[in-house]
A and B are shown apart, each in its own frame.
Chain A
Amino acid sequence: MKRILVLGALMLGSALSPAFAGSGPIKIVLAEEADLLEPCMATRSNIGRVIMQNVSETLTELDVRGDKGVMPRLAEKWEQNADGSWRFHLRQGVKFSDGTTFDAKDVKHSFDRIMSDKNACESRRYFGGMTVTPTVVDDFTIDFKADPVQPILPLLLSLVTIVPEETPLEFVREPIGTGPYKLTNWTPGQQIVLTGREDYWGAKPEVTEATYLFRADPSVRAAMVQAGEADLSPSISQLDATNPATDFSYLDSETVYLRIDHNIEPLNDVRVRRALNLAIDRQAFLGTLVPDSALLATAIVPPPTLGWNPDVKVFPYDPDGARTLLEEAKADGVKVDTPITIIARSANFPNVTEIMEAIQAQLQEVGFKVELKFVEVAEHEQYYSKPFKEGRGPQIVAAMHDNSKGDPSFSMFFKYATEGTQSGFSDPKVDDLIKRASAAVGDERAKLWSEVIAYVHDEVVADVLLFHMVGFSRVSERLDFKPTMATNGTLQLSEIKIK
């Protein structure tokens, strides 16, 4: 009897399933709540994961799954004018979720809003050191004139979310966008619900509604997907990632490194910096304290980034070589015995404490005197960013840098240029290369970035690059979805398929 019932249920299930297959609501559990659903803050990961391209769209979009580069979204095409400015031709027939029609005036307002001093929009940071003036040509054409000329302006515009012209300059709590979803419920501390829009201009996604839940504990997130309370957790702990059917790792665009302050002896000596690099057995961390699938880093940006240089090799583990370099430096009067402080951030990434202790031990093994200091996020920032404190001792800051944007310009200036906020040194050749690379296009651009990466790693020995990290996700078997490097900051619901 039982058998017949089960059989019946199965038959009923298969008879019904075609009608439901491939569409429906899902639940996503994230680690950190989006405390503000402001479109101009969507470049911040906890906010962007919810609204970027789901609620708020951009003119252009970077292809992170393939290698198509910058793709059209709200702009259908663009070209560079003779004077170096860029002309964007906008998509027609697009409506915002409040019913108003999308046109060039909205684009101009969105850009002006980001640059306004009435708010603290974070996407403004991508337009530092340049003046950009948008000019409406007609309803569906807009020019962006940048001074100096910006070869990557179309890429930069993949970071500017478009809001209606009527949006106030101050922060809003109800985002209105042109995306495939609109915000239908937001109960702070509990959930955010996005519902699919009937009048969306593009293809209709399979996910009809997404409920976002927030749990700080990784085991709970994993348990929720297992118990069927959620369908997707983009980040679970490696310890919980035990089920091959639902759990897998992905390169998540975070790079862990030790930023060296070259201004203070003995770290001003390149032999000492090289010795730091040779003393660390990077390979030994993989599969132990760092996930097996993480990559050893030779650049501050992960491999899929433009100009990533395959010819740069990871420093070998060579403790004897490190000792020799330190002795040479000592013989020349460099005070290699001065205690060096490594400053790390508590809970910055999994096992940070153990990893830093192991690095401390490996450095001491070759003769460094190393102290380890853990601080919380605000204090860490004071060590990491300029202005550095006067009268400080030799310092190394352990940090994690995220660049999923596909172009090194989002990292290089800040980390390596003389004026860069987190740069620990000043080298005219690096400054010149970064300046030229930022202004170049196409193959020339890739070549120049490759040159920067090699020079900084091999000649300057600017820092101790460690690992390109991986994340672990748990995806319910009813979904067809693989996270990418971009998932940290953008989680496009339209890319999630329902089986």
Chain B
Amino acid sequence: MIPPPDSPEGAMLRFIRKRAVASLISLVGLIVMVFFLSRLTGDPAALFLPVEASAEMKAQFRELHGLNDPLLVQFARYVGDVVTGDFGESLRKARPALDVVLEAFTWTLWLALVTMTLVTGAAIVVGSLAAFRAGGFFDRLSSVISLLGASVPDFWVAIVAIVVFSVNLAWLPTSGTGSLLHWILPISVLFIRPFGIIVQVVRGSMIGALSSAYVKTARAKGVKSGPIIFVHALRNAMLPVITVIGDQAASLLNGAVIIETIFGFPGVGKLMIDSILQRDFNVVLAAILVTALAIFLMNLLIDLAYALLDPRIRH
């Protein structure tokens, strides 16, 4: 049943539709831009073939991959193919570009999902508790930890973690994939920075909420600390927190290049960098399309969360 247009649900649907159209336009713009810009930056033939390759070999390589045609013809062909779900072949890997990207993106998605779930849970608890006794010991401790977390370089933490936990203590595998144990180090290292940032935001936002009139009223009525923090104040303090969570999640969805590189994690970040360096255009385009789509979906979820948390946005 379609809800009537003036109902809250109808307004919600309209809102989603509007966002979808806007995102689609920016997605198309992005693809057009990346398509032409990437082709201005160098010839894949020169990179695929060794420096000693003859001019004929390079010309033949371009012919084989349709790179000799005028740019507009190449673009029209690309759009035609994409519409039918064909993202072309990876030059380097001789396999469908979309397969390559989806394979890598699945790893990235899981990594981002698990990390952000843990970060969100931990940051909300720690940030709220710190705000409850602002200036107290726990607050100061959490501030130090979160500032450290937000500022420490992750490649350094990653290498130190490998030396300590894998080489010296031999508790965890250094890198790679294969078992659940392999996920612990990458997730722990990825956890640190967004945790540091989000704790600070939760704390700031909670201090504001805890000093508001409704919390004082609740306190005066004798509501216990637990419900005050996690029921009354938190819901109101969550709006800015969700925005920051969205930002952090988006950067993880783009791929955690450093973590992927160090831990040999086959995610989309390193794939994208390698493909750009090798001018593997089809993979670059497919990767941008897939990650952009994921980020669009996530933004939509965040908007919905806003609306759920704050009835003023719904109406």
Contacts and interface: CB of A to CB of B under 8 A. Distances in A.
Interface string B104-120: 10010000000000000
B87 interface: no
B93 A376 contact: no
Interface stretch (B21-29, B165-173, B199-207): B165-173
B60 A215 contact: no
Interface in A62-87: none
Contacts of B174: 220, 223-224, 227, 229
B92 A36 contact: yes
Interface string B58-98: 00110110000000000000000000000000001111000
A138 interface: no
B277 A378 contact: yes
A128 interface: yes
A459 interface: no
Interface in A273-303: none
Interface of B: 41-43, 46-54, 57, 60-61, 63-64, 92-95, 100, 103-104, 107, 159, 162-163, 166-167, 170, 173-178, 261-264, 266, 270-271, 277, 279
A125 B54 contact: yes
Given A213-B176, A227-B167, A229-B173, A36 B94 contact: yes
A65 B49 CA distance: 28
12 contacts: A117-B60, A122-B53, A213-B176, A214-B264, A216-B262, A216-B270, A219-B159, A220-B159, A377-B277, A378-B42, A414-B51, A421-B51
A240 to B, nearest CB: 11
A35 B92 contact: yes
B95 to A, nearest CB: 7
Given A217-B262, A226-B167, A171 B94 contact: yes
Query: Which of B52, B177, B279 is the most central at the interface, judged by chain A CB atoms within 10 Å of its CB?
Result: B52
A190 B266 contact: yes
Nearest to A422: B51
Query: Which of B47, B63, B162, B271 is the most central at the interface, judged by chain A CB atoms within 10 Å of its CB?
Result: B162
Please give me the 7 A-B residue pairs with the lowest Cβ-Cβ distance, nearest first: A189-B266, A378-B42, A171-B94, A215-B264, A120-B61, A216-B261, A414-B52
A188 B93 contact: yes
A21 to B, nearest CB: 25
A379 B42 contact: yes
A198 to B, nearest CB: 27
Given A171-B94, A229-B176, A421-B52, 17 more contacts: A35-B92, A44-B50, A120-B49, A120-B57, A189-B104, A190-B178, A213-B264, A220-B159, A220-B263, A220-B264, A223-B162, A223-B163, A223-B166, A223-B174, A229-B174, A381-B46, A381-B47
A119 interface: yes
B64 A119 contact: yes
Interface residues of A, number: 43
A128 B54 CA distance: 7
Interface in A181-225: 188-190, 213-217, 219-220, 223-224
A215 B186 CA distance: 14
Contacts of B95: 173
Interface of A: 35-36, 38, 43-44, 117-120, 122, 124-125, 128, 170-171, 173, 188-190, 213-217, 219-220, 223-224, 226-227, 229, 376-379, 381-382, 384-385, 410, 414, 421-422
A384 B170 contact: no
Nearest to B163: A223
B47 A220 contact: no
Nearest to B173: A229
Contact of A223 (B93, B104, B167, B178): B167
B166 A122 contact: no
Given A217-B262, A220-B162, A378-B279, A35 B93 contact: yes
Contacts of B173: 227, 229
A220 B263 CA distance: 8
Nearest to A213: B176
A211 to B, nearest CB: 11
B46 A382 contact: yes
A385 B51 contact: yes
A220 B103 contact: no
Contact of A224 (B48, B175, B279): B175
A258 to B, nearest CB: 16
Contacts of B54: 125, 128, 421
A128 B55 CA distance: 10
Contact of A38 (B47, B94, B163): B94
Given A377-B277, A414-B51, A188 B266 contact: yes
Contacts of A226: 167
A232 to B, nearest CB: 15
Nearest to A376: B277
A220 B262 contact: yes
A441 to B, nearest CB: 23
Contact of A381 (B51, B92, B103): B51
A146 B170 CA distance: 58
B104 A217 contact: no
A188 B283 CA distance: 14
Nearest to A413: B52
Contacts of B277: 376-378
Nearest to B53: A125
Contact of B49 (A122, A213, A229): A122
Contacts of B166: 223, 227
Contacts of B271: 189
Query: Which of B42, B61, B159, B174 is the most central at the interface, judged by chain A CB atoms within 10 Å of its CB?
Result: B174
A324 to B, nearest CB: 36
Contacts of B100: 188
Nearest to B99: A188
Given A120-B49, A188-B266, A215 B61 contact: no
